[in-house]
């Protein structure tokens, strides 16, 4: 039976009534995203909310957590005082499995190396009513799509690619662990009411073009921050031709344009997917509500009246894309790639091609890739590049093994990795190159920042569809265009690959494989959650100190960051993932990837009291030991990328008081607020240039009020002074988080009361 079906029935049973309440307030037609948002308000609406301005309280239906972020989220939840989560919640062990030699051995090694963490997550999940998915069961977003996502629902997840569930018509938003704790603790979840970007799809995908190319094209149009503060809602007849899992691919990678989330309207493709994944009961309910699980007719007729921005993409004309390197919005149509390789001096030889991940590991993805591999074998071709395949879930893996796609992919030279994130998030022990060696890889993943996949800053990663990635693996060259170019086979014959074909869903249904699910205990009161005080992987949390009511006086600049500063730059993944449950240990990676604006070096800064240059965390600890708070200065879109709250917790733990930047990425700004840090922006971005290495700043925190700037005095070492005004987006409730020391401190206090 469908998991949590009673909850889904409750959502659907009140949907029309809640929409009627919203329509009375709005007195106008509604987009689909608005319908889902208004039906998930914590309280009945009394007015229309202003996009990009109003903060609202919402009631998500469920929470999902991956193992790296779940550790800190659940350590925080333990401090909330609750006996059980207030909404259905799950933990998925997918981030800590390092790819090296192949699925079986990699999984066995991960289970041994991470036993302490897995045991902790399993025990705390069973105790507090949380479903637990064992290592090897699959990547969180694929497992959620297969088991939990439903049209018209709302969920939050502690991973930035949670919007994957938008492929099933769900508003699914990536958050930090503190947000997850709020919802699991029965508190409302706060969100700035998003703007709406409407993407109209016309025509139909054909030939080599795939759903991935829709989002690769859109990323090129909107850039990595073009979707910030907005929900991307797809509409138009083109949506009907894209499979449910194809829609999920598009929504998944919407995180790369900074979007709050992305969503498709309910259609027959979703119904078919629900039924084949044994959720016919949900499909039937959704079909009964189909007229409301989409934008109103008037919206579709005059979209310019209802969306803040509209982008049109004609699927008939859409070309396959490769995006990169180093940023997911550098979009190259495949017809321009030859020219780009020459002009940009990209290494043409592809060292490794990788398909799969949470973005592109559906049955359809693998079947279409396998169709290319099958052709290659029949035409005397094999992969010239190293080639890896990452199934998204055990269900997908078992099914493509049964149906033969895995064998075909391995026959051309492919290596099957575990059902886990692996190389997509830096959990990849590459054996073929040395750090510093310039090389090209092509992936069907979602993110390609420097060092993201293998820790090597000289790896140029290009993102493409699984079909294009497979074709490039066979050719071994980035400049190869399978639409026009021929290859030479082992007999010296010229051959050409035909466009891929594949089934959207397995004709014989899914093979579930070996189940990796452990349900929570009926009564978890007697279950003990053990954390060894001597562990270097897990550490119980101590509450952060509340604000002392005083202004921040003469704080040194710990670091002024130049250029892009993602959460990877602030708190690297890869080998550091093992410390995600130990705040003190993982804080030793703080800002190691960030570029010091004064020196051009990564990860090092000056202790202004001693004059010594050391690693950023070392200097922060020296300041903290002396009871000295500090601030960090940053550039545009600070904190883009993964939703990891460690990038907010580490600065707070090591004595940081404020992060002052030109602009923030949404999730990271919220994470800072949750941890009691002040996220501030320059009222005049040019004031960034006034900050010098030896400066000390005074911030008049006592002035902190909603929608009002606060003053900062910058005291230069030469005795001169600048007065700078700073903006913030903190509302009254968020200011209370700051005063209490963190949002969690307020939750714990409310449970005691």
What positions carry a catalytic annotation? 94-95, 159, 447, 642, 644
Closest CA to 16 of 45, 1, 43, 38: 38
Query: Do 311 and 226 contact (CB within 8 A), yes or no?
Result: no
Angle at 16 between CA 10 and CA 17, to 5 degrees: 85
Do residues 451 and 457 lie in contact, with contact meaning Cβ atoms separated by under 8 Å? yes
Give the HSE-up count for residue 640: Cα atoms under 13 Å, Cβ half-sphere.
29
* Contact between 619 and 607 (Cβ < 8 Å): yes
Q: What is the CA radius of gyration of the chain?
A: 25
Q: Give the count of beta carbons closer than 10 Å to the beta carbon of residue 485.
A: 15
DSSP-derived 3-state class of residue 433: coil
Q: What 3-state DSSP class applies to 245?
A: helix
Number of Cβ atoms within 10 Å of the Cβ of 540: 14
- Burial of residue 36 (CB within 10 Å: 0-12, 13-18, 19+) is buried
| Positions of E strands within 575-677 | 604-606, 613-615, 630-633, 656-661
The token pair at 13 is 């049973």
Phi, psi of 629 (to 5 degrees): -80, 170
Looking up tokens 């914590």, which residue turns up?
Answer: 42
- List the one residue out of 136, 213, 161 whose CA is nearest residue 469: 213
Other CB atoms within 10 Å distance of the CB of residue 593: 23
Of 219, 224, 114, whose CA–CA distance to 567 is shortest? Answer: 224
Specify whether the CB–CB gap between 708 and 730 falls below 8 A: no
Residue 358 to residue 370: CA distance in whole angstroms = 18
Task: Classify 404 as helix, strand or coil.
Answer: coil
Query: Are 276 and 201 spatial neighbours (Cβ–Cβ below 8 Å)?
Result: no
How many Å separate Cα 116 from the centre of its chain?
25
626 by Cβ neighbours in 10 Å (0-12 / 13-18 / 19+) ranks as exposed
Q: Hey, what are 536's tokens?
A: 């270097």
Scanning 531-594, the segments in alpha helix (DSSP H) are: 567-570, 583-586
């Amino acid at each position: 039976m469908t998991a949590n079906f009673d909850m889904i029935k409750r959502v659907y049973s009140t949907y029309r009534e809640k929409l009627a309440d919203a329509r009375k307030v709005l007195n106008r037609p509604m987009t689909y995203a608005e319908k889902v948002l208004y039906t998930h308000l914590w309280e009945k609406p009394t007015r229309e909310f202003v996009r990009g301005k109003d903060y609202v309280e919402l009631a998500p239906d469920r929470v999902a957590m991956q193992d790296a972020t779940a550790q800190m989220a659940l350590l925080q939840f333990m401090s909330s005082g609750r006996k059980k989560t207030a909404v259905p919640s799950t933990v998925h062990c997918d981030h800590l499995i390092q790819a090296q030699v192949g699925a079986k051995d990699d999984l066995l090694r991960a289970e041994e190396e991470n036993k302490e963490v897995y045991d902790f997550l399993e025990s705390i999940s069973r105790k507090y009513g949380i479903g637990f998915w064992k290592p090897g069961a699959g990547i969180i977003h694929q497992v959620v799509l297969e088991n939990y996502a439903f049209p018209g629902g709302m969920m939050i997840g502690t991973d930035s690619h949670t919007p994957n569930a938008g492929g099933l018509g769900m508003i699914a938003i990536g958050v930090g662990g503190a947000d997850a704790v709020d919802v699991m603790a029965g508190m409302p979840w706060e969100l700035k009411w998003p703007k709406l970007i409407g993407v109209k799809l016309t025509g139909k995908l054909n030939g080599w073009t795939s759903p991935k190319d829709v989002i690769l094209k859109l990323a090129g149009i909107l850039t990595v921050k073009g979707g910030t503060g907005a929900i991307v809602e797809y509409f138009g007849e083109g949506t009907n031709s894209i499979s449910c899992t194809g829609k999920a691919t598009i929504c998944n990678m919407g995180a790369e344009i900074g979007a709050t989330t992305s969503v498709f309207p309910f259609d027959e493709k979703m119904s078919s997917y629900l039924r084949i994944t044994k959720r016919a009961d949900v499909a039937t309910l959704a079909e009964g509500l189909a007229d409301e699980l989409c934008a109103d007719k008037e919206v579709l007729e005059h979209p310019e009246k209802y969306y803040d921005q509209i982008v049109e993409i004609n699927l008939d004309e859409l070309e396959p894309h490769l995006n990169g390197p180093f940023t997911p919005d550098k979009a190259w149509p495949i017809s321009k790639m030859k020219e780009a390789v020459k002009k940009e001096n990209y290494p043409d030889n592809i060292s490794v091609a990788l398909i799969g991940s949470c973005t592109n590991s559906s049955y359809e993805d693998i079947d279409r890739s396998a169709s290319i591999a099958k052709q290659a074998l029949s035409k005397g071709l094999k992969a010239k590049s190293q080639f890896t395949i990452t199934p998204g879930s055990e269900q997908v893996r078992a099914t493509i093994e049964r149906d033969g796609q895995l064998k075909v992919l391995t026959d051309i030279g492919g290596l099957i990795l575990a059902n886990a994130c692996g190389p997509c998030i830096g959990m990849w022990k590459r054996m073929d190159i040395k750090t510093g060696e310039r090389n090209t890889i092509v992936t069907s993943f979602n993110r390609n920042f420097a060092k993201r996949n293998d820790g090597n800053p000289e790896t140029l990663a290009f993102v493409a569809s699984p079909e294009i990635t497979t074709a490039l693996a066979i050719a071994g060259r980035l400049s190869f265009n399978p639409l026009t170019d021929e290859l030479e086979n082992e007999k010296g014959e010229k051959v050409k690959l035909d466009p891929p074909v594949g089934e959207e869903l397995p004709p014989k249904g899914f093979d579930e494989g070996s189940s990796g699910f452990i349900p929570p205990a009926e009564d978890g009161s007697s279950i003990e959650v053990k954390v060894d005080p001597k562990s270097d992987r897990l550490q119980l949390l101590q509450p952060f100190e509340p604000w002392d009511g005083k202004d921040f006086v003469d704080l040194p600049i710990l670091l002024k960051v130049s250029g892009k500063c993602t959460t990877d730059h602030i708190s690297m993944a890869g080998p550091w993932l093992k410390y995600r449950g130990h705040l003190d240990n993982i804080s030793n990676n703080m800002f190691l990837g960030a570029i010091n604006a004064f020196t051009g070096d990564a990860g090092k800064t000056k202790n202004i009291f001693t004059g010594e240059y050391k690693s950023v965390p070392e200097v922060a600890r020296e300041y903290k030991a002396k009871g000295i708070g500090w601030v960090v200065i940053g550039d545009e879109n600070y904190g883009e990328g993964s939703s990891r709250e460690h990038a907010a917790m580490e600065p707070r733990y090591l004595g940081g008081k404020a992060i002052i930047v030109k602009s923030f990425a949404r999730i990271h700004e919220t994470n800072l607020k949750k941890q009691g840090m002040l996220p501030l922006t320059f009222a005049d971005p040019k004031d960034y240039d006034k900050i010098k290495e030896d400066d000390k700043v005074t911030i008049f925190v006592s002035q902190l009020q909603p929608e009002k700037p606060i003053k900062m005095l910058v005291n230069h070492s030469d005795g001169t002074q600048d007065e700078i005004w700073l903006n913030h987006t903190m509302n009254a409730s968020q200011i209370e988080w700051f005063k209490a020391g963190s949002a969690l401190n307020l939750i714990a206090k409310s449970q005691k009361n």
